[in-house]
Structures are given as structure tokens and as C-alpha cells.
Structure 1
């Protein structure tokens, strides 16, 4: 169980580093709030199952998909930030939104990699358990 916890913590650390690196490559660091919003947790249960929890700011998903209003929640016509982002007719000043895939591809790859690492770990543990259970002397089988 401790090997699984170590592996899960290392995987979460590496995954967060990969996400931050992707954001830097794609220049998604307006204020740095999204990069600082990552939180991770590994929860072990009595049945020996692990639960990994990775959370980040919600607007990061909108950046990944290339959608959203382009304004903070609660900004209305006449507010300070409105004129900076939208025209008097309500249209966005920038031409178009573009999906910046910092999350989806990396998460698919990292999830697959975690599955491979866990199966490798369990395979190694299984082989060592079987070899420990075998008797120390030669075993003769007669058919």
C-alpha cells in the first residue's frame, strides 16, 4: 500500500508539472492564478483502494475548450471591466477564441501512464508474493 501511495503522489506531482509546463508553452499565464490553483490529494481506504483527487480553477477548462464569455462573473454593461473587453454593441473586442489544449491531451496521456505504472507495480508485487510462497526445497511433481 505504501508503494502505491508513493507512486500516486509522484504521479500527481509530475502531472501538475506537465500541466504548468503546457500552460507556459501556450502562454496561458495572464495572472498566474490558474497555475497556482492546483490542489492534489491521495486518499487511501480500508479496502486498500486509492482515490486520487486533482482540482484546479474552473475557468481552466474553458481555456482548454476555447469557450467562455471573456468576462468575469458578474461583470455587466456599465461596469469598469466591460468597456475593456466588449464594444458598445456587446461584441468581444478580440477576433476569435481559440482552444489552447493544456489539459485534455495531457490528462489522457497521464491517465494511461498511471494505469501502466500501477499494473507494473502490481505485477511485480504478485511475482514477489508467489516466489515468497514457494517452498525453499525442490518440488517433485509426478504425473
Structure 2
């Protein structure tokens, strides 16, 4: 194991995980062709915050409309338009569906976040397990231990 303390190792791993996760999100956005203006890809902000209790907090933020794209909602009617208004009939059919565009969920976020969160938990538990094993092996006596039954 390196000379880094556990806190430094956790911080380094969390930073690398955030970088990898943002790269995976951007890869998903490109694959699903959610580019329109590129504002969603440019909106990612990531930060690792050390809490007072010694626990790490990770912050990942992005444009709000990215969530709506992931769910397949949010495009079509302006604020305040109700059924029966002129704006409603112009954009929607009698069943309430958009005439020119169909909403379709593009899962760039939810599946990737679930996988990446699970992977972060595995990496952190592996880090703590490796540290525990090294501490136990350091504490064992250098001589052979004989146990008679």
C-alpha cells in the first residue's frame, strides 16, 4: 500500500470516480444524440467535499432539463396553457399528445448513476478491506505461530 493516509486515498478515489462518472454521462449523451445546443454536456460541475465527521460528500450538478430528457417529459406546452385554450389545440391532438414531436425518454442518467454509485461503494469497501488486511498483517508476530489442539 502507498504512503497515503486513508483519507487521502478516499479523496483521490472519489475524485477519479467523479471524473469517470461525468465522462460516462457525456458518452451516454452523445450516444443518444441529446446534443441540441451542447449546454447539457457543458453544465456538469463536480466537487468533493470533506465533511466535519470525516465522511466524504460528493456533489455532481448539471442542467435541470437533463433530468426531463432522461424521464421523457417537459416539452410541449408553455406555462399557463390549459386544455381548451387556443395554444393547447394548436400543439396537441384530442388525446393530449404532441402533434409534431413525440416525447421519448432517453435514459442517459438514471441507469448510469445507479451503476456508478454501486461501483463507488464496491471501490470504497475494497479500499477499506485492503487497509484492514494490511493492518492485521502488520500486527501479526514475525515468528511462526504454533497452535496445538
Q: Smaller-chain TM-score range?
A: 0.7 to 0.9
Superposed, 1:81-96 pairs within 5 Å as 89-91=90-92, 92-96=98-102
1:117 and 2:123 correspond: yes
Say whether 1:105 aligns with 2:111: yes
For residues 83-109 of structure 1, the C-alpha deviation after alignment (integer angstroms, 9 at most, x for no partner) is xxx787243452310000000111111
Counterpart mapping for 1:66-85 below 5 A: 66-70=72-76
Unaligned runs of 5+ in 1: 77-85
TM-score where L is the length of structure 1: 0.81
RMSD of equivalent CA atoms: 2.3
Cα displacement (A) at 1:135: 2.5
3-state DSSP of counterpart to 2:122: helix
State which of 3, 6, 25 in structure 1 corresponds to 2:9.
3
Q: Structure 2-normalised TM-score?
A: 0.78
